[in-house]
Structure 1
Amino acid sequence: MNELLKRTLSGALYVVVLVSAILISEYSFLGLFFVFGLVGLYELQKLLKLNSYLNYIVLLAALIFFGILKIDTYSIWLLLIITLFVKILLIKDLLIIHKIPIFEGKKYILTLFYLISSILFLTLIPYENGEYSPYILIGIFFLVWFNDSFAYLVGKNFGKHKLYERISPNKTVEGFLGGLVFCIAASFGVAYFTKTLDFSTWIIIAILTSVFGTFGDLIQSKLKRQAKVKDSGTIMPGHGGLLDRLDSILFAGTFIYAYLLII
């Protein structure tokens, strides 16, 4: 009961802080995600047994140049293409060789393109025709929470076929499909209440959120297994580390941003 209470309170605090920062202003939103990036980098580098202050400088520089100064150059396209390529390789490693290469030569690639660029692209999502539109990102976070909640509920009550047992024994095919279906259903409500993007766009975002969010969750689980730890950190009582809360949206966010950029 105490564990459930801790999990509920810390989860509620996380949601309140997140939504408030996004709604208050563009700069409170960027400030919070900079903090998220710092904590996430600390947790990821701990998993990888890497100690680099350069990564924190790169994170700060990326958010200043692209998030605050809004430098619009071909470099953002190049960074997006490389990040998508790296994430597709991570999915390939997960599915085919069942291991995420984290030896010395790949650690900086993981910190830069798995985390830093993912934080950056999340901060670039809530803009519509150049104007800050906070409800876009809040809607996406809502879809992530909706997908995770119903994947858990459907999987717990109806799950019989394991999705990827060697990495995440509790995830089931039925849970994944349940999360996907309810996430798509929720996208209609998100489109109606946020009054931002159209219904068809939110449906595609829901599919990207569910599919790539699940991959992000599995990849984070695999990294923790390879590091032989249960959680990425202890900052959120009952939940573990910040990466344990953000793994889905960090991974899916890049694909969502690419889709929004294309359309």
Structure 2
Amino acid sequence: MKEFIVRTLSGVLYISIVIISMFTSHEWFMALFFILSIVTLSEFLKLIHLKSILAYILLAGFLYFFSYSIFDDNAVTLLLILCCFVNLFLLKDVLWVSKIPMFEKKKYVAIILYLISGFVFLTLIPLHDGNFIPELIGGVFFLIWFNDSFAYLIGKNFGKRKLLERISPKKTVEGFLGGLAGAVLASFLIFKCLEAYQPELTLTYTLMVWILMAVFASVFGTIGDLIQSKFKRQAGVKDSGILMPGHGGLYDRLDSIIFASPFIYAFLQIVYYVS
């Protein structure tokens, strides 16, 4: 019971800080996520046993040049293609390879095109034509949170069939389906809130768009969690850090959305241009 209370309180504090920064201003949003990315990168570097000042310089450079549109759209598209390719390569390694090669020999590939690029597209999701739309990134976080919460509750109480036992023994098929249902429920609630308070956004981001986004968040978020589980298994640790009591480190909390962000960004770009 004590562990549940600690986990809940730290989770509520984390969610409150993230939501407040999103809806305050673009500058506050960028400032918070720059801090979150630094902490997450430090945890990831410890996980892969690498000390690197260059990684932090690359993080700052990528967030500045890509997130503030210093580079043109072609550069962003190229980064998106490379990021998605590397993420799918990581998925292949999780499914069929005993050890992830990028964890051992190609560390900077994983740092740049998995972790740093994940944060870049996370900060680009709410930006369209120079406008900052916090409802988009807030909605994506709610989809991930509902997915994780429902997956945990359904998996713990009803889970029987293992999803990928050799990587994450606690994950079950029932938990995954419960998480997907939770994300779809969240998409419906988000759309209804927008319909009531920001109806102009629902012209582009319809209920079907939010439902599809929920599927993306659930599927790719679960994959991201499995990839991080394999990283931790190779490193021989239970959690990536101790910053959040009951949850582990920030990387433990953000692994799903880091992996999912480029795919969600690509989907939103398609929706935006088609509409």
Q: Do both proteins adopt the same fold according to a TM-score greater than 0.5, normalized to the shorter chain?
A: yes
1:247 Cα offset (Å): 0.5
SS at match of 2:151: helix
Say whether residues 1:239 and 2:239 are aligned partners. no
Unmatched 5+ stretches in structure 1: none
Distance 2:206 2:259 in 1: 23
Written as runs of structure 1 = structure 2, the 5 A alignment for 1:1-263 is: 1-102=1-102, 104-194=104-194, 195=198, 196=201, 197-263=205-271
Distance 1:189 1:158 in 2: 25
Distance 1:244 1:103 in 2: 17
Q: What is the count of residue pairs matched by the alignment? A: 263
1:34 Cα offset (Å): 0.6
Q: Does 63-72 or 231-240 show the bigger shift?
A: 63-72
Asked if 2 retains the 8 angstrom alpha-carbon contact of 1:48 and 1:102, the reply is no
Distance of aligned partners of 1:154 and 1:5 in 2 relative to their CA distance in 1, 3 Å threshold = closer
SS at match of 2:105: helix
TM-score where L is the length of structure 2: 0.92
Asked if 1 retains the 8 angstrom alpha-carbon contact of 2:103 and 2:110, the reply is no
1:104 Cα offset (Å): 4.7
1:164 Cα offset (Å): 0.7
Which residue identity lines up with residue 144 of structure 1 in the other structure?
I
Distance 2:71 2:22 in 1: 21
Which residue identity lines up with residue 49 of structure 1 in the other structure?
H
Distance 1:226 1:103 in 2: 8
Distance 2:149 2:47 in 1: 26
Q: Deviations over 1:129-164 (max 9, x none)?
A: 431110111111111111111111111222111001
Distance 1:103 1:137 in 2: 29
1:167 Cα offset (Å): 1.3
SS at match of 2:52: coil
Which residue identity lines up with residue 216 of structure 1 in the other structure?
G
Distance 1:17 1:92 in 2: 35
Q: Deviations over 1:82-134 (max 9, x none)?
A: 00000000000111114322455310111111100000000000124431110
Distance of aligned partners of 1:103 and 1:239 in 2 relative to their CA distance in 1, 3 Å threshold = closer
SS at match of 1:240: coil
**RMSD over aligned Cα, in angstroms?**
1.4
Asked if 2 retains the 8 angstrom alpha-carbon contact of 1:154 and 1:178, the reply is yes
Distance of aligned partners of 1:104 and 1:151 in 2 relative to their CA distance in 1, 3 Å threshold = closer
Q: Deviations over 1:198-233 (max 9, x none)?
A: 111111110000000000000001100100001001
TM-score where L is the length of structure 1: 0.96
Distance 1:206 1:145 in 2: 11
Distance 1:251 1:237 in 2: 23
